[in-house]
Amino acid sequence: MSNLAILPIIIPLLSGIILAFFPKKLTLVRLLSKLFIIGNLLVSGFVLYTVYTSGSIILETGAWPAPYGIIIVADSLSILLVFTTNIVAAACAFYAPHSLSDRKEQHYFYAFFFFLITGVSGAFLTGDIFNMFVFFEVLLMASYALIVLGGDKIQLRESIKYVLINLFSSILFVTAVAFLYATVGTVNMAQIAQRVQEVDQQGILTTIGILLFFVFATKAALFPLYYWMPNSYIEPNPVISALFGALLTKVGIYAIIRVFSLIFIYKIDMTHEIFIWIAGLSMIFGIIGALSTNNIKLIIAYNIIPAIGFIIMGIGIFNETAVSGSIYYLVHDMIIKTALFLIAGTVTYVAGTSDLRKFSGLIHYYPVLGWLLFLAAFVLAGIPPFSGFIGKLLLLTGALSESEIAIVIIALISSLLILYSIMKIFIKGFWGVKDASFQPKSTKGLIGPIAFLLALSVILGIGAEFFIPSIENISAYLLDPEIYIDSVLKE
């Protein structure tokens, strides 16, 4: 029964291994990868249902009791994110065959795709900090292969920088784990949390906490550490950018949420105050980046940074409303960022360029694509009936109840500018005079996944009444680390 928890890791791992055997048989590989990802989506949906009806599933691998073996914890937060990951991945798997060239698909794209999903699910589900490092490396290693797939000049140039910064932060992660092990003598997260409450070495523990935050903030592209992200995310194929934009930075954010709601919670006035500042600065600098460019892919990539800022702001405020806002926004942002990257990829494909100054009037040829972009801009900016609104409303209510006025003003202004930066694509690229010499290309298969993702985020917004109670349960669960510790250590 408790083996259910590991299925979302095992299925993509086995799928990746199977697909690595016959990379040249494209029809078979495409069919199998769609089947596998839908199977994985259904299984993780079933695990999600089980967790929400009968509580967290804890798997002690190899039947070693909790602090001694590696444990897999499928609690309400991690399994929700795994399910969202699989939704995003399924949309990407259906988009990929129409977007990638045959040559790229033959060079093990689907195998690396499934290894990426393995790493992301593993990082969400693990209950052991060194194991989390290993799953980070699994997903990073797959992402190194995906980012350089194709081997264009610009890709090679950007991937050197990408690999380098991630390698550096991984080594820092190992160092931080070593310090933590020296201080508390364990790598199991529940036991670390328990011992942190007992020992009184708070100075060194806060230092380790900030070091871990530095590591995760590099992965999540927060304010001073986002410089590597925008350019390296726009160079690979759109479907790969979409996977990166939706999953990789969010794993860093999940690690921050987990570590700073479970382990380092004894000095909130210092650590979490820093988060609020960093959140504000991320919003400001991210939105400046998004407004500064005419490259549509770069506009979307820069929009990741303020979104991460919104999520980290909820963690910084750390009351129940704000944390549930963060979780809601996290799920919403994973879905909408994938949709936006896929839209940007489709627009680049049909227009033949990603430079906004070079095309206009696309609405005459692609009305559906145009209105999908319009809808996505509304969802992202947080116009009331859609999902971005609910998350931001919860975050801002939480911030106001703690009288953090400055961050509220920054958040509201940056929401406005986010809307402007996306509408700029719509106004410049889709409106305007009809270009008679334009040769329309077929968008067969490209629109479906985008429409699916946008429909989901509309449902997420309109059906908020249905989702909010479980989100609030997760938030209450996160604010009380004793529940996690007790369920893992069984005391």
Tokens representing residue 34 in the block: 């769609």
Minimum Å gap between C-beta 13 and other proteins is 17
Which of 33, 78, 121, 159: binder of other proteins (CB under 8 A)?
159
Which residues 287-306 are close enough to bind other proteins by CB under 8 A?
295
- Rounded distance, CA 256 to CA 82, Å? 16
Task: Report if residue 178 touches other proteins, rule: CB under 8 A.
Answer: yes
Minimum Å gap between C-beta 128 and other proteins is 11
Tokens representing residue 210 in the block: 């900030």
For 74, the 3-state DSSP assignment is: strand
Minimum Å gap between C-beta 229 and other proteins is 15
Closest CA relative to residue 6, chosen from 53, 57, 49, 67: 57
**Torsion angles phi and psi, residue 438, rounded to 5:** -70, 135
Tokens representing residue 259 in the block: 């570590």
- Rounded distance, CA 86 to CA 94, Å? 12
Which of 10, 163, 288, 291: binder of other proteins (CB under 8 A)?
163
| Ramachandran region, residue 356 (left: φ > 0; alpha: ψ -120 to 50; beta: rest) | alpha
Q: Which is nearer to other proteins, 141 or 210 (CB)?
A: 141
Tokens representing residue 373 in the block: 């972009």
Task: Report if residue 154 touches other proteins, rule: CB under 8 A.
Answer: yes
Count, residues near other proteins per rule CB under 8 A: 31
Minimum Å gap between C-beta 244 and other proteins is 17
**Span of 75-83, 156-164, 378-386, 410-418 interacting with other proteins by CB under 8 A:** 156-164
Question: x-or-dash pattern for other proteins, window 248-287, by CB under 8 A?
Answer: ----------------------------------------
Cα–Cα–Cα angle for 6, 7, 11, nearest 5°? 125
Which of 14, 174, 413, 455: binder of other proteins (CB under 8 A)?
174
Which of 34, 50, 130, 273: binder of other proteins (CB under 8 A)?
130
Cα–Cα–Cα angle for 277, 78, 474, nearest 5°? 70
Which of 148, 212, 243, 347: binder of other proteins (CB under 8 A)?
148
Which residues 45-84 are close enough to bind other proteins by CB under 8 A?
none
Minimum Å gap between C-beta 340 and other proteins is 21
Closest CA relative to residue 460, chosen from 279, 329, 301: 329
Tokens representing residue 429 in the block: 């690229």
Minimum Å gap between C-beta 270 and other proteins is 24
Task: Report if residue 355 touches other proteins, rule: CB under 8 A.
Answer: yes
CA of residue 294 relative to chain centroid, distance: 25
Distances 224 to 18, 191, 357 between C-alpha atoms, Å: 41, 32, 30
**Exposed/middle/buried for 253, CB within 10 Å: 0-12, 13-18, 19+?**
buried
Helices marked H in 199-357 — which ranges?
202-220, 229-234, 238-243, 249-262, 268-291, 296-317, 320-351
Which of 22, 49, 64, 168: binder of other proteins (CB under 8 A)?
168
Closest CA relative to residue 251, chosen from 164, 163, 343, 126: 126
Which of 50, 61, 170, 319: binder of other proteins (CB under 8 A)?
170
Q: Which is nearer to other proteins, 120 or 408 (CB)?
A: 120
Tokens representing residue 344 in the block: 């940007």
Task: Report if residue 231 touches other proteins, rule: CB under 8 A.
Answer: yes
Q: Which is nearer to other proteins, 172 or 281 (CB)?
A: 172
Q: Which is nearer to other proteins, 179 or 277 (CB)?
A: 179
Q: Which residues bind other proteins (CB under 8 A)?
A: 130, 133-134, 137, 141, 144, 148, 151, 153-154, 156-157, 159-160, 163-164, 167-168, 170-171, 174-175, 177-179, 181-182, 187, 231, 295, 355
